[in-house]
Structure 1
Amino acid sequence: MLLGLLISSLSGPVMAAVLCPFCDAPTLVMAEQIQMCDHLLLGRYLGGVKSTEVTAGSSRFEVLEIAFSKGAKFQKGQVLEIPQYVAAAEGATFTLMGPEERLEDWHAPAEATAAAWQYLSKMPLPTTDVAQQSQRLEYFIPFFESSDMTISNDAFAEFAAAPYAVIKPLKDRLPREKILGWLNDPKVSVTRVGFYGLMAGLCGKPEDAAVLERKIMTLDADFRLGIEGVMAGYMLLRGEEGLKVLEDGKMRTKVAQDASGKEVPLPFSETYAVMQALRFMWTYEPERISQERLKASMRILLERQELADLVITDLARWKDWSVQDRLMAMYADEKFAIPAIRRAIVRYLYYCSQEKGEKGADGVEVRPESAVRADALLKELEQKDPKTVSDAKRFLVR
């Protein structure tokens, strides 16, 4: 879900999301639906009986092709009567699939072009063999922008549902130039921008960074779906240099340039998109930009009132315990006297106070200085603001 992690800001330690973090994936891709069937056929529509108040009607199909049929239960030329009415032109072709032989239990017939039938009947089915998952996924690459939307949407969905670790080995198989073109094509669905931006970074060359930077820095809407994926792809290409550009252009400033070159206010969503991209780099590409550098970047946003609680949560999850005194100053600052921020500070101190130390030569555990300090600060807050501390502790992820 690479391109909707979207990596969420949770109140405590969480497991890394495994799906494509900038994609919205469907519940089941076509291959998963097919895998649950015993039969997959192509049928030609012969006509049907419309539904009434007491019946669902019926539709007749001649079997033209058989992708598979358990026990060879169906044959070419056979006529099937599906117990539901389909409104279609006579001669139209449909996929017919389902379990066993009870046609009442089959999927609703779906109209399919010749290209769609070839795609569906030849696609490799899902596998639990990790070594084969990348090889299987390669089948779908040529179909990303097929003119047949059934094919295009399903091929994209396969990547959206795939773990990033399965996608990454395919970087040399991805169509680099086409992806760059799709990224800037206004006809391509905006729901794919994040995915194509990330893939452009994964398979791109250094000179491609200019294309991604131009897209990131030119503000053409108040909210840009998927721009966080483009930012992540940009950092894949440029590393710390790219991160510096994002810091200066999206984190340290509150203005931006629109498509005409006019200076406009920087939308909140742009800065939040950088946060999402930082989370991606932390979780999936920790070797491209050091985690210490990512922590330093996230700390820039502590002064942003509208983001502070999210930033504090991320710093706690990343075990950056270097800002305890700064957070205490924020707690006392009226600018940050917002319940969500104060609760985030309490949770940060609590998680830090729970950190375990190494055992000494005598076998006794020595608590980290940061944990001791956090414990003392937490007790101080309990004296000053017991209600907020109590409220924050109620929802701790322990």
Structure 2
Amino acid sequence: MQSPDPVVSRIHRAGFVFCLAVLGVLLCAATTVACPFCAPTDTLANQIFLVDATVVVKRVAGEEGQDGLPGTTTVRIERVLHISTALAKSFVVDQSADAKPGAMPPVVGDEIVIRRYYPPKEGAQYLLRGADPENLVWGDNMIEVDDEVIKYVMDAPPVDAPATKRGDYYLALLENKNQEIAQDAYAEFASMPYEDVASFRDRMPREKLRKWIFDEQIPGTRLGLYGLMLGLCGDDTDAALLEKKIRERSSDFRLGIDGVMGGYLLLTGERGLDFLETEVLKNKDIPNGELLAAMQAMRFMWTYGNGRVSKQRLRAAMRLLIDHPQHIDMAIRDLARWDDWDDMDRVVGLYGTKDYDDLAARVAIVKYVLAAINRKPTDDETGLQEKARRHLADLRKKDPKIVQRAERFFDIR
């Protein structure tokens, strides 16, 4: 049996180790509850400083892949941006100790071969990242950057600095002329917990936000953040602007309109919810995306509204989604989480009817009943579980396999 090529083996190991390192970064970031209306976006700071080494490189040579094998690119280190503490420690060894292969610091002028072909591009420079402090290996994905972006990243407060300090830096750079900087400044706020975003309400660029929510040149992914921000720092005039934005109609899915609705509810409270009920929730012709956005805005107010809209009003508004068969599964899941059982008889009565006969709807209705049975009743709800058990028994007779399926995978989170 032919032994594996050690060079190929090291290349494959490098890719595997680096992927594990990047996955760890993403999992750490995912544990933070980020802005509720923002598309998940990794930041340049995370990509640069949460790995073991990051360097700026330029292409020297390359060889295209062939016969199913990946190509390669040779790059030269132009600048070292970051070395982790763990990697720096691995460089310090006793004089009597043997140096570990690969555990050498990246040095300007060194050349690196990566297992991916990049065609020549005049003047281009890239970020290249490495992982594993015991035996540094480089990834094969390079990020093209210019000098302005590098300066922007290096001038930023450290990734472990307080949110207030980091936020002030990025707040001033939202919608920067350099699109890479503009996108990354957005990403920094998108990755912040809502409470941190809200702490900047007195410093938010209100006049700019008013323009940005109507600027079609700005990517729609940023609209949710800007709508939320205007809701945090605005007044009745801004509420009217957000309402105008909500009234716009499009056959396409409107990215970020959920954040506009959330910001609108922050400013208007129950009056604004009345408007959303009429304009969106009771509208049989409304696009699905608008309904989903309204649901997300109500969930936001339930969690972060601080009583701006009462829990009972939010429950009543969510019940309106029962009239939209395509969303009943999500609506009654929220109602169960919110301990709302007022429409249980009606919900169970819809089981298997013309518009509520698909698998998702039937399973959701059974889970709604199961949630009522499994909750701890209050003193004034002594009959709730008994009623839910009767409904479950009837559903089991009607559709035993669906009830068994719902019980097996019961989870109302």
CA distance in 1, matches of 2:52, 2:362: 57
> Residue 224 of structure 2 is aligned with which of 188, 191, 194?
194
Matched-pair contact (CA < 8 Å) for 1:176–1:204: yes
In the other structure, the counterpart of 1:48 is 60
**Higher relative contact order at CA 8 Å, sep ≥6: structure 1 or structure 2?**
1
Q: 1:155-304 residue pairs with structure 2 within 5 A?
A: 155-254=185-284, 265-304=285-324
| Pairwise CA distance, 1:50 | 3.1
Q: Which moved more, 1:134-143 or 1:191-200?
A: 134-143
Query: Does the aligned pair in 1 maintain the 2:53–2:83 contact within 8 Å?
Result: yes
Identity score, percent: 37
Return the letter of the residue paired with 1:216.
I
The 3 A distance-change label for structure 1 pair 357 and 307 is: closer
Aligned residue pair count: 357
Pick from 132, 136, 148 the counterpart of residue 115 of structure 1. 148
Inter-partner Cα distance in structure 2 for 1:98 and 1:386: 55
Q: Does the CA contact (< 8 Å) of 1:67 and 1:121 recur in 2?
A: no
Q: Is the 8 A contact 2:52 2:82 kept in 1?
A: no
Aligned pair in 2 of structure 1 residues 320, 391: CA closer, same or farther (>3 Å)? same
1:231 offset after TM fit, Å? 0.9
Q: What does residue 20 of structure 1 align with?
A: 35
Tell me the secondary structure at the aligned position of residue 79 of structure 1: coil
Alpha-carbon separation, structure 2, partners of 1:352 and 1:17: 30
Deviations along 1:46-74, one digit per CA (max 9) or x if unpaired, are x72333669834333554x8677976967
RMSD: 3.3
Matched residue SS, 2:122: coil
Which of 371, 376, 390 does residue 390 from structure 2 map onto?
Answer: 376
Aligned partner letter, 1:215: K
1:294 shift after superposition:
0.1
Find the residue that maps to 1:298 and give its secondary structure: helix
Question: For residue 329 of structure 1, what is the aligned residue in structure 2?
Answer: 349
Displacement of 1:386: 2.8
Q: 2:74 matched to 1:58?
A: yes
- Out of 161, 174, 178, which is 1:148 matched to? 178
Partner AA of 2:75 in structure 1:
S
The TM-score normalised by the length of structure 1 is: 0.78
Contact kept in structure 2, 1:183 and 1:196, CA below 8 Å: yes
Select the residue among 126, 129, 133 that pairs with 2:159. Answer: 126
Aligned-pair CA distance for 1:211: 1.0
Structure 1 unaligned spans of 5+? 1-15, 255-264, 360-365
Cα offset, 1:313, TM superposition: 1.7
Aligned to 1:6: none
For 2:75 and 2:32, locate their aligned partners in 1 and report how far apart those are by CA, in whole Å.
Answer: 43
Paired residue secondary structure (2:403): helix
Displacement of 1:168 in angstroms is 1.6
Instruction: Give me the whole-angstrom Cα distance separating, in 2, the residues matched to 1:180 and 1:322.
Output: 40
Distance 1:121 1:345, change over 3 A: same
- Cα gap change, 1:95/1:295 in structure 2, threshold over 3 Å: closer, same or farther? same
Please give the secondary structure, in 2, of the residue aligned with 1:33: helix
Pairing 1:393–2:407 present: yes
Unaligned stretches of 5+ residues in structure 2? 1-30, 92-104
Counterpart amino acid of residue 328 in structure 1: V
TM-superposed CA distance for 1:283, in Å, is 2.2
Shift of 1:249: 0.8
